A and B are shown apart, each in its own frame.
Chain A
Amino acid sequence: MSFISYLINGLSLGSVYAIIALGYTMVYGIAKMLNFAHGDVIMIGAYAALISMTQAGLSPVIAILIAVVVCTVLGMAIERIAYRPLSKASSTLVVLITAIGVSYLLQNVALLIFGANAQTFPTVIQWKGVSLAGGRLNISGETIVTIAVCLIIMAALITFVQKTKSGQAMRAVSEDRGAAQLMGINVNGTIALTFAIGSALAAIAGVLLCSTYPSLTPYTGAMPGIKAFVAAVFGGIGSIPGAFIGGILLGIIEIISKAYISSQMADAIVFAVLIIVLLVKPTGLLGKKIQEKV
């Protein structure tokens, strides 16, 4: 029974990773850049929700909406100010370093405004959860909501990308930016939209993460950000279902190895699994195999 409860916890953590990884993978697929500041957008989203709830006394639903709006605006602003001027730079490393600069910036702004002390995140989800198998298996409300939200986001995102015109534009830009532009697609607009969606997802992920692990500091986003990045690569970066599968697997592996092997070595095990997967399948689980042309 404890195995099942670990599995469900892993599924919940994995759902958070998956939501963050979706942001990474979409931005990578379309802008071809690793947005290292993504983890810190999560942290800003969590702070926005926290402030709305504790200082302004708003209800959790409105607080989450505010967090989503804040992160969306922030993500688009970052893209416009820091990344777009460099989109045609000669080396992709340049944008990577700029993203790291943005990450430092967000962390230090948060540090100045909110201080370094950990703040307790109030529960967003009032539901107590369910108790199965005669009380031997308790699943908290946070866990169920997290998993459900992840599934809804996943479904909505796939529908959006496959069915709508903007989604089509996104796929076109990720396939071939130049050709997409020639077809009359607004490439810059599409990239901005991608950042907006990714950042909105980051806000939701931030709130979900902090409801399960209710301690918020300016560095809260960094490690989940890296883990989600790993998850995105794990599933094949650029692929939306890949990010989902990668995130879920990563969460389960992490919780199971914490429970059964060693809590201190959980991170090492997660990374080791990643390495093994990449060595067997060098472009991730669902990554496209790139044909090399001479």
Chain B
Amino acid sequence: MLKKMKKNTKNNLITYAMVTAAFIIMQLLISVGAVSSLLEGLMVPLCTYIVLAVSLNLVVGILGELSLGHAGFMCVGAFSSAFFSKCMRDVITAAPLRFFLAMLVGIAVAAVFGVLIGIPVLRLKGDYLAIVTLAFGEIIKNLVNVLYIGKDSEGFHFSTKDVMALDMAPDGTVIVNGPQGITGTPKDATFFIGFLLILLTLFIVINLTNSRDGRAIMAIRDNRIAAESVGINVTKYKLMAFTVSAALAGAAGVLYAHNLSTLTANTNNFGYNMSITILVFVVLGGIGSIRGSVIAAVVLTLLPEVLRGLSDYRMLIYAVVLIVMMIFNWAPGAIAWREKYFHFGKNKRGAGK
């Protein structure tokens, strides 16, 4: 037992060290000027994706349920925090404090949504659960797109029709403008904050996984009936994993929102496509492997950028690489072939079980 714990601890330290080293190297390269501005601009989104991938892995890998609506929680976190930041822009002038509070708001709102959605959703199983999470993600995106909020001297005005329906006094300003989203969010997110958020996410997820609660969650994943019969409260632990995951996705959304001047919700950033992209990170990195999620998120985010020279062909190559990697990694035929000719596949157990 002690030996196993040590191995675990070592493993986790490697993950932290890897992220830190990558951050320092990147930061050095940026300060030297060896990084293109395009790539530099990609750093905060990259941090967002890593946090999303690690948090989704908590649901998919540790809890063993497929969620296709992860971007919905990110959307909730992004919009609630951007709303907060925009309202508080003149009240709280210290950017770090404002961002910190926005972060708390985003996390709290996303966590509330996690509980609200988790209670009904977790009654379902397998593909049905997946489709309902997908539906929730789409509903959230859709509702954000018809939401109008304005503020004037009398307070807040809400509408789901258009700006005119807000019926504001002349001094009013529109904060959330339907499909145009939120403009003028302070750009408070930096690469360093993103890095800190990754460390925090890793710390939370790794510690949860290695705790008594985490073992209960994994017991539910492996055999729900057996877990229930030894007295594990299935609903409680499922909801715990789901909510923590949602809260972390919310945090990623906060980071994402404060890196953009205009925040809109469309299919590619908060819709089904985004949820799928994150799921791809998780599965390709190895279901249940935290470090794998981080690496896959980095590689797959940078891959289209590295391939940018190939312009039109880059997404095509991305798709082919994705298919080939899945078959190479998982097909029983490919695994047997690999073990025959290279011997590095031997120690790997089926990580996705």
Contact = CB atoms under 8 A, between A and B. Distances in A.
Interface of A: 28, 34, 36, 82, 85-86, 88-91, 93-94, 96-98, 100-102, 104-105, 107-109, 111-112, 226, 229-230, 233, 237, 262, 264-265, 267-268, 271-272, 274-275, 278-279, 282-284, 292, 294
A268 B138 contact: yes
A85 B334 contact: yes
Contact of B124 (A89, A105, A271, A282): A282
Contacts of A88: 332
B320 interface: yes
B316 A109 contact: yes
Given A105-B316, A271-B138, A271-B139, A265 B132 contact: no
Nearest to A292: B225
A177 to B, nearest CB: 15
Contact of A82 (B280, B284, B327): B327
B68 to A, nearest CB: 9
Nearest to B313: A112
A117 B53 CA distance: 33
A59 B125 CA distance: 48
Nearest to B273: A222
Contacts, number: 137
A98 B327 contact: yes
A79 B326 CA distance: 14
Given A94-B352, A282-B125, A274 B131 contact: yes
Given A268-B138, A282-B128, 17 more contacts: A34-B130, A82-B323, A98-B327, A101-B322, A108-B319, A111-B312, A226-B134, A230-B135, A262-B160, A268-B139, A268-B142, A272-B135, A274-B132, A274-B135, A282-B123, A283-B128, A294-B225
Contacts of B134: 226, 230
Given A265-B142, A268-B139, A89 B323 contact: no
B146 interface: yes
A107 B327 CA distance: 20
Contacts of A90: 330, 350, 352-353
Contacts of B334: 85
B142 A94 contact: no
A229 B142 CA distance: 18
A86 B331 contact: yes
